[in-house]
Amino acid sequence: MTSLKRFVADDLFSFNTVNLDKLTETYGPPFYFEYLAHWPEYFTIARSPAGYAMGYIMGKVEGPGEDWHGHVTAVSTGAEFRRLGLGNKFMNTLEEVSEHVHKGYFVDLFVRASNAVAVGMYKKMGYVVYRTVLGYYSAGKNDPAEDAYDMRKPLSKDKERKKSSVIPLKEPITPDELEWA
């Protein structure tokens, strides 16, 4: 049976296979440690019965006033553990923390515009494409920069979607126009 647990520093040594996917952003250890220190409640890992890292989610809370929200920084599942519902479990966990611990208005995330599977999953979970961020993902050696969708889901504080923070925008923006970095 899969177990979800709070991510701890030692987990950094066992989750590399989860990050092998080209759609997963990989960060340096100081970045992960910052999240562990500031937002440990937003950092969860899934382990198989044999103890293998199956996937993880990390996030934070940010924004002023009615823009106070949970943000998904990274969510990834190892290739051999996909289609088991882990992504949904991770997202539900982060949404619960955003709603009940931090009293957020919404949850947001950035996803590659080309990642149709992930975009479809998020839409099924109630997320909407709030806006497109042009060239959000850095260019690789052989790859051009890629656009991202900023997807958002209102929480119970804004179930009627009255806040402008979840009403989709028509015009794309560039990364330097983002409110929270």
Tens digits of pLDDT across the chain (181 residues): 788 899 988 888 887 777 776 667 778 889 999 999 999 999 999 998 888 888 999 999 999 888 899 999 999 887 777 888 888 899 999 999 999 999 999 999 999 999 999 999 999 999 999 999 999 888 777 778 889 999 999 998 886 666 667 788 889 988 888 886 5
Cα of first residue to Cα of last residue in the chain, in angstroms, is 37
Q: Which residue carries 């949970």 as its tokens? A: 70
Q: Is the separation of the CB atoms in 131 and 169 below 8 Å? A: yes
Is the Cβ–Cβ distance between 148 and 132 less than 8 Å?
A: yes
pLDDT at 43: 94
The answer to whether the pTM exceeds 0.75 is: yes
Task: Give me the pLDDT at residue 36, please.
Answer: 93
Give bridge partners of residue 128 from the DSSP assignment: 152
For residue 80, the model assigns a pLDDT of: 78
How much is the pLDDT for 60?
97
Task: Please give the distance of CA 75 from its chain centroid, rounded to a whole number.
Answer: 5
Q: Which residue has the tokens 């990989």?
A: 26
Q: So what's the pLDDT on residue 3?
A: 81
pLDDT number for residue 162: 65
- Torsion sign, CA atoms 127, 128, 131, 133: positive
Q: What is the pLDDT of residue 160?
A: 66
Per-residue model confidence (pLDDT) at position 164? 67
pLDDT at 22: 67
d(CA 14, CA 71): 24
| Residue whose C-alpha is closest to residue 164's, from 63, 38, 84 | 63
pLDDT recorded at residue 91: 94
Supply φ then ψ for residue 127, to 5 degrees. Answer: -80, 150
Q: What angle do CA 112, 30, 52 make, to 5 degrees?
A: 70
